[in-house]
Amino acid sequence: MSRLSRISSVSLDIQEPKVEAPHRHAKALQLWALGIGAVISGEYYGWQSSLVAGFNGMLIVLSMMTVLYVTLSFSLAELSATIPAGGGPYIFALHSIGPRAAFFSGLAETLKVIAVNSSTFYTIYSYLQTLFNVDQKFAPVFFIVFGILFGGLNIYGVQASFRMQACSTTLCVLLLLIMFFSAIPHLDYNQWVVEQDWQYTDLSSAIEAIPYAM
């Protein structure tokens, strides 16, 4: 018997390593909350600054931003289907352009997260200051507390973070619906816009309103 035949006749008990399937942390409601929660804060703080363009001017700017957001949504949907991997803009830039573009994309995302967190902390503090007349000298304390709270929530686990975001987003949507329906009896274009001579301002104000309309 040749050596090759002897080796082939030996039964080797080799077990293939088991690969665990990725665990799905986010459900449909939590994914909805993730998308809506990322932008719904603008309905509570910031959008009113776009009124510097006048009421009709704000509507024009909002229409422009709506078109841009719709095209952005279609682009992200196509990229997500073409490149089904986690990482967002970093992964898209890595596969479509290269590692250098991915580096700058990741750097921009990091700066965006820092800026968004800072603005969120300031917004929460502004609301508390208005409601409870909190002294301005305590602002850094609130910033640190909010940072520890939200950071600790994410460190504790992504599931807890998703649940918290789903609850807060649902509450925000309900409050907005209450406000919208409560305002319906008071809608009067002539009283609030025409009589106030508030249709349009100037071009510079319209340009100034664009970031807030986003």
pLDDT in tens, 162-203: 788 888 888 889 988 998 899 898 888 888 888 877 777 777
Task: Tell whether 117 and 181 lie within a shared domain.
Answer: no
pLDDT band at 156 (very low <50, low <70, confident <90, very high): confident
Task: Tell whether 162 and 152 lie within a shared domain.
Answer: no
Instruction: Output DSSP code: residue 101.
Output: H
Q: Which domain holds residue 191?
A: 157-199
C-alpha–C-alpha distance, residues 108 and 63, integer Å: 27
Residue 153, token pair as written in the block? 């929530």
Task: Tell whether 87 and 151 lie within a shared domain.
Answer: yes
What value does the mean pLDDT take over residues 145-169?
80
Q: Is residue 192 part of a domain?
A: yes
C-alpha–C-alpha distance, residues 182 and 24, integer Å: 39
Residue 45, token pair as written in the block? 């703080």
Task: Tell whether 95 and 136 lie within a shared domain.
Answer: yes
How many domains is the chain partitioned into structurally?
Answer: 2
Task: Tell whether 171 and 195 lie within a shared domain.
Answer: yes
Q: Is residue 70 part of a domain?
A: no
Contact status, residue 108 vs residue 124, Cβ threshold 8 Å: no
Q: Is residue 136 part of a domain?
A: yes
Task: Tell whether 144 and 180 lie within a shared domain.
Answer: no
Neighbours of 206 (CB within 10 A): 20
Task: Tell whether 93 and 110 lie within a shared domain.
Answer: yes
* Neighbouring residues of 79: CB distance < 8 A, sequence distance ≥ 6: 92, 96
| Cα atoms found within 13 Å of the Cα of residue 120, Cβ hemisphere only | 18
pTM of the predicted structure, to 2 decimals: 0.67
Task: Tell whether 147 and 88 lie within a shared domain.
Answer: yes
Q: What is the pLDDT of residues 23-70, one digit of tens each?
A: 666 677 777 777 787 778 777 777 777 777 888 888 888 888 889 888
What value does the mean pLDDT take over residues 8-20?
50
Q: Is residue 144 part of a domain?
A: yes
Give the Cα-Cα-Cα angle 101, 71, 110 (nearest 5 degrees): 35
